[in-house]
Amino acid sequence: MLIFKISPYSSPQSKTLNLFQKLLTFHLDQNNTEALIDLDLKRLQYVYENSSQDKINKGNYIVALTRLSEKYNNHPVYVSITHKLAELYYISGNNYIPDFSESSKPDLILSDSICRIALDDFPDVHGSNNCRNLLEKINQVNFGFDISGAHMPNQPLLSLVSFQNINRLHFKIVAGDPKANANRNRRKEQLDKELKQKEIISWEQELPQTIDHRLHTVEIEIPELDEGYYIIFVSNDSLFRSSQTIKYKPIWITNLSYITNANKIGGYTDMLTINRETGKSIGNVDITIYKREYNNQSQTYNIKEISELTTDKYGYAKIEPISASNYGTFLFMFEKDGNQLFSENYLNFYKQKENKKPKVHTYLFTDRAVYRPGQTVYFKGIVTEELGDNVTLLTNYDTEIEFINASRKK
């Protein structure tokens, strides 16, 4: 037990420690080991929490707890002491930052080991459940995966998998219903239905072996898929039972993609359908537009088809206000030659007030990005004038150019 020599009236902390010492002396005289250790653990924790949280004080706290555990290693209070020590390592381990706090890297392993040794010696004493709960937190299984929402057909896919305290996962891919999944009210019901479907492909994925109880990531390959809409399910259970953790991601396999640009002056949105891989435009694409609306009475979202259109031969379509709505969440079903894409956008059709004063913009181009001292800078520029949607090139336009260095000096 650590004894502190303090002045009893110098500070509130000193008065508290003085009270601790009086109580410890009382329990020593009463030969009450359980009460003595419980109080001494509170004293050590109080000292640590009211001191600067640096390596020296942490080290002193660890030494004090270690000595206490060695002294009482044959007594049931050993579990309570080692739990405090394991808890300290657990907190330190969770605060580990690579390349910054390397000394705490193995602390989760130490915390796990300390608890297991204590439970082996004293499985059913006061404090044993605290160690079991801490072990459960240290060894909690955690996993997830990330993959972009659309990929080209018949090409390998890559997914980033995060995992902790697990060495294998189970994957299954099923055909999905994009419109049904867009209905947020019945999404869980729809996913349960799709989970029970016959899988298109399934496999067991081995993960790198780890023992440090930390979250790791690894990139894995997803098998090639034909055009269509799929749901990828991942679980730590090969039978994908609902009692176990199940993660999912919807994914489109299509060569279709699109870009949008809100025209704030005109109050409409420009849309261009393109090839996902090459970026080249794809013309004559059929587009079905749905709108997601919230029903206040039923407190549910409804999806309603509101319009159809086809892009021109260059892949361009102009999306204007629909049903007198100035904004909203719209769903777009793109389709061409059996290839589909269902996507979602929030669109704003409010018109920006037209600026009747022309704006002049100067654009400069240099012959290189970086120059060494003494090198000559060659540049050219163009000047444009913008008024509404009209942009014109200004010729024979005089302007002044200043060269400023990093110190903001000419």
pLDDT tens digits, one per residue of 30-74: 888 899 899 989 998 888 888 876 788 888 999 999 999 999 999
Higher pLDDT, 254 or 401: 254
The domain of 176 spans 142-253
- Confidence category of residue 348, pLDDT binned at 50, 70, 90: low
- The pLDDT, as a whole number, for residue 151 is 93
Residue 152 lies in a domain: yes
**Inside any domain, residue 2:** no
- Strand duo 157-164 + 201-206: pairing: unpaired
User: 142-146, 278-282, 328-332 — which is least confidently predicted?
Assistant: 328-332
147 lies in the same domain as 133: no
Shared-domain flag, residues 133 and 165: no
Torsion region of 372: left, alpha or beta (phi above 0 gives left; psi -120 to 50 gives alpha): beta
Residues in the chain: 410
Considering the chain, what is the average pLDDT of its residues?
87
- What distance in Å separates the CA atoms of residue 383 and residue 399, rounded to the nearest whole number? 9
> What is the structure's pLDDT at 1?
42
- Report the pLDDT averaged over residues 216-234: 95
Q: Are residues 169 and 205 in the same domain?
A: yes
Q: Residue 24 falls within a domain, yes or no?
A: yes
Residues 116 and 172 in one domain: no
Return the pLDDT at 346: 65
pLDDT range class, residue 4, cuts 50, 70, 90? very low
- On whether residue 303 sits in a domain, the answer given is yes
pLDDT digits (tens, 9 = 90+) for 294-308: 778 877 777 888 889
Q: Where does a domain end: 196, 229, 253? A: 253
Confidence of residue 326 (pLDDT cuts 50, 70, 90): low
Percent of the chain residues topping a pLDDT of 90: 47
**Into how many domains does the chain fold?**
4
Encode pLDDT of 353-395 as tens digits.
666 788 888 888 888 877 777 888 888 889 998 887 788 998 8
pTM, rounded to two decimals = 0.74
Strand stretches in 185-283, DSSP E: 201-206, 216-222, 228-235, 246-253, 256-263, 268-275
Q: Which of 86, 109, 138 corresponds to the end of one domain? A: 138
Q: What CATH code is carried by the domain that includes residue 280? A: 2.60.40.1120
Angle CA(126)–CA(132)–CA(135) in degrees, nearest 5? 145
Cβ atoms of 247 and 232 closer than 8 Å? no
- Quote the pLDDT of residue 13: 78
